Chains A and B, each alone.
Chain A
Amino acid sequence: MNCPECDAKIKIPDDASVGEIISCPDCGSDFEIASKNGSVCELKHAEKVGEDWGE
């Protein structure tokens, strides 16, 4: 599918799951897989790293 930001081609691995983060190889934007139906994925902008993120 194409990057919602720069329209470059983004390859989503077959085993990628909802909630995983995909980066555009061209513009570097991060997207979260919001839904997946077979090979059709819906992407949304990934959350930025928060101050309380971590283990």
Chain B
Amino acid sequence: MPKVCIVFDRVRVEEKMLEEKAIELGHDTKMIDAKITQISTESKKNNFDFGDVVIERCVSYFRGLHFTACLEFLDVPVVNKFEVANNCGNKMLTSLLLKKHNVPTPKTYFAFSSEAALEILDKEGYPLVIKPIIGSWGRGVMPLKDRDTADAIVEVRELSDGPLDRIYYLQEMVKRPPRDIRAIAVGGNVIAAMYRTSRGFKTNIALGAEPISCEITKELEDLCIKASQAVGGGILGIDIMEDEKHGLVVHEINNTVEFKGLAKVAKRNIPKEMIEYAVTSAIR
């Protein structure tokens, strides 16, 4: 049986579920802490015990991305691939790829200075939603409802002056029910979906949104397959909104998908599907 390695920086419920399932399926299973692993340009694959395939599960996006680059340098099969992690970790790249591959996605504007961002807002009108191009759990996602709010947010960004703060990602406010859909695609197959309902603007499970089972319709399945292909495939969490005007639209794709909420309502065994896919993709 192929050996499975799970790279982590913090063991969450999901990493424990994956480890337990890999062991249950009969795989020799190893957990590796990225924080205490050292790799160099002189490193060789046989200096480490990464097994036959690595499932990269770091909670820190940049740590996981760069660790993946090192694994690929060592020719260790890794899920997800660097290119996929890069495409999904950056909302701007995701939006561009979705549009390029004709996947319905909310209209999104990009600006590279505060002045240009404010010009877009004045021209397109309020509200627009501002999102940091890198970040999760809904942090920094805010509806800009008027010029005063926009000025305040732009000022905060200019004061913090992080390199990514100069990239403005402004998205149309989609008219939708107070929920969104999270689907998990594994190797291009949609294995589970849920509604995330919330009384507030954000629908992240991390912020307390309620998971409710969602039927995987043909329309939802086709959309997720196209979205998965657009970013390079693998194990993905696809976020979808029900736009009153345009139907289902994909607004985000997650590379290191959290699934403890969805596992409560899913019919299929999510960690099992993930382990089996990782092993199969490594053999191919």
Contacts and interface: CB of A to CB of B under 8 A. Distances in A.
Do chains A and B interact in one complex? yes
A11 B135 CA distance: 33
Interface in A7-55: 17-21, 32, 46-47, 50-55
A1 B59 CA distance: 27
B136 interface: yes
Residue in B11, B19, B136 with the greatest tally of chain A CB atoms within 10 Å: B11
The DSSP consensus for interface residues of chain A is loop
A3 B225 CA distance: 48
Contacts of A32: 10
Nearest to A21: B10
A38 to B, nearest CB: 18
A53 B256 CA distance: 10
Contacts of A54: 59, 61, 135-137, 139, 206
A21 B33 CA distance: 13
A-side interface size class: 10 to 19
A52 B62 CA distance: 7
Contacts of B173: none
B175 to A, nearest CB: 25
A55 B255 contact: yes
Given A17-B16, A19-B15, A47-B10, A53 B254 contact: no
A53 to B, nearest CB: 5
Contacts of B63: 52
Interface of A: 17-21, 32, 46-47, 50-55
Given A53-B59, A53-B137, A55-B137, 7 more contacts: A18-B31, A19-B31, A32-B10, A51-B134, A54-B61, A55-B255, A55-B257
